[in-house]
Amino acid sequence: MPKTIIVVDDSFVMRTLIKDILSVDPDLQVVGEAANGIETLEKVRQLQPDLLLLDIEMPGMDGIECLKRLKLLSPCKVVIVSSVAQAGSQQAMESRKLGAFDVISKPSGALSLDLKAKKGSDIVKISRRAVGLPE
């Protein structure tokens, strides 16, 4: 059984790119996506995924609020995907305090990545680690 993932980002392009990268790993399966906090909570409630890839900068409900609300909903793991939330930033610290597994940056030049680069990307590596799959 592959581990289930929900990808959250307000940009369709970003979600598509992230899903494309994740598609190289048969152990990881994207079962849903969401474009904002409210949608995220609804999807998590419905799909109960193993992992959530969460953008921290979203209009409406921001990532931190979303994280807090998630805690009340599901034990799923959360990896923050955002370029603002670089390690050391306030948001990174706060999201880790709230139980986020890790903070990674958004994919760069994702269009030109080859299979090997995708497999070796943070998105795949950290996702595997978050759900307890061997590296």
Partner 1 sequence: MSEFIENLWSQFAVETQEHIEDIELKLVESEQNGASAEPVSALFRAFHSLKGLATAMDMHSLARVAHSAEDVLGLVREGELQLNSDIVSLLLAALDEIKLLCQSAATSHTDAEVNSYVLQQLTGISASIVRPAVDMNPVASDDRHSDTPLQADPEMLGYFVELAREKTAVITRILEPLCSMSEREIELNGGEFHELAAEEIEQFSYAGRTMGFLNLVEILARLRDALPADSRFDCDSRKTIIESLWELHDQLRYIEHSGGFLDAGANRLHTILSDAMQINIRRLFTRVLDQLDVLQESDRDNQDLIAQSLQADLSALNSHLAFFMYNPNCNIILMLEDVFSRAARGELHLFSEIIDMTREEVTHVMEHYRGCSDGGACVRDDGEIARNIQRIHDYIWAYESGCGAGNPVEAFRQFMGGLNIEPELLKILSPENVRELMQALENGEQVYEVSAHLESNEEMTSTFLAWIESGRSRIITNRSLFIDDKSWYEMLMVSPLSRSEINSNLKAIDPDGSNLCLKPWTGGIPAREKLLKSIEEPPERQQLNTDSGGISSNVIRVQGESLDGFMNLIGEMVLARSRLNHVINHERLNCAMTLLRQMDTVSSHGCAELLDLLEKHRRELVETDQLLNNSLGRLQASAVGLRVVPVEMVFKRLPRVVRDLARNQGKRVRLEMGGQEVKIDKAMVDILTDPLLHLVRNCVDHGIETPDERSLAGKVKEAVIRVSAAQRGNGIVIEISDDGKGIDTDKVLRKAVELGLVNRDKADSLPREAILGFIFEPGFSTAATVTETSGRGVGMDVVMTNVLRMGGTITVDSEAVRGTTFTLLMPLSAAIQEVIMVEVSDNILAIPGRWVVEVAEIDNENIQTVRGDEAVLLRGDFLPLHRLSKLLGYPDSVSERSASTVVVLSSGSQTIGLAVDKVLRRQELFVKDIQEMVASLPGVSGASILGNGHVVLILDAEDLLRLAKSSRQRNQAT
Q: Is 80 within 8 Å of 100 (Cβ atoms)?
A: yes
Instruction: Round to whole Å and give the CA distance between 87 and 89.
Output: 6
Does position 23 interact with partner 1 (CB under 8 A)? The reply is: no
- Binding partner 1 (rule: CB under 8 A), the pick from 72, 114, 132, 134 is 72
- In the complex, what is the shortest distance from the CB of residue 96 to partner 1, in angstroms, rounded to a whole number? 5
Does position 68 interact with partner 1 (CB under 8 A)? The reply is: yes
- Binding partner 1 (rule: CB under 8 A), the pick from 29, 36, 96, 122 is 96
How many of the chain's residues bind partner 1 (CB under 8 A)?
Answer: 35
Mask of contacts with partner 1, 102-131, x by CB under 8 A?
Answer: ----xxxxxxx-------------------
Does position 12 interact with partner 1 (CB under 8 A)? The reply is: yes
Q: What single string gives the DSSP state of each residue in 78-120?
A: EEEE-SSS-TTSHHHHHHHHTT--EEEPPPSSGGG--HHHHHT
Q: Which long-range contacts (CB under 8 A, 24 or more apart) does 12-20 make?
A: 14/55, 14/106, 17/107, 17/110, 17/111, 18/53, 18/81, 18/107, 18/110, 18/123, 20/110, 20/118
Q: Which stretch binds partner 1 (CB under 8 A): 24-32, 62-70, 121-129?
A: 62-70
Residues that bind partner 1 (CB under 8 A): 10-14, 16-17, 20, 45, 57, 59, 65, 68-69, 71-74, 83-84, 87-89, 92-93, 96-97, 99, 106-112
